[in-house]
Amino acid sequence: MRMRWVIVSAAGAITLTAWGAVAFIYFFLHPTLALFTAAATVAALSLEGFFWVCAAVAGWSFLAGRRQMLMRLRKCLPQREH
């Protein structure tokens, strides 16, 4: 498995765990408003982090593919002599 999918999977697992904790707190602990707000805020921030990780991995993949394409193009074109 490529490293980028491991990174995205780890970030997704953290996000799912955070939202699972929010559901557990809401349904089983009957929290106060302050506790539920704090738990939901942490889960929302983890979701925001997941989106940023996905954007970074997608951007990195795009740039790596573009670099490979430019290298193949450079091999095909005649080289300039100075």
Calpha distance 76→49 (Å, rounded): 41
Question: Could you report the per-residue pLDDT of 67-82, keeping only the tens digit for each?
Answer: 788 787 778 877 777 6
What is the pLDDT, as a whole number, of residue 61? 81
What is the pLDDT, as a whole number, of residue 66? 79
pTM of this prediction?
A: 0.76
Per-residue pLDDT at 6 exceeds 90: yes
Question: Could you report the per-residue pLDDT of 47-64, keeping only the tens digit for each?
Answer: 999 999 999 998 888 887
User: Could you tell me how many helices (H) and strands (E) the chain has, helices first?
Assistant: 2, 0
Q: Where do the structural domains in the chain lie, given as residue ranges?
A: 3-75
For the stretch 10-34, what's the b/e string if a residue is b when 16 or more beta carbons lie within 10 angstroms of its beta carbon? ebeebbeebbeebeebeeeeeeeee
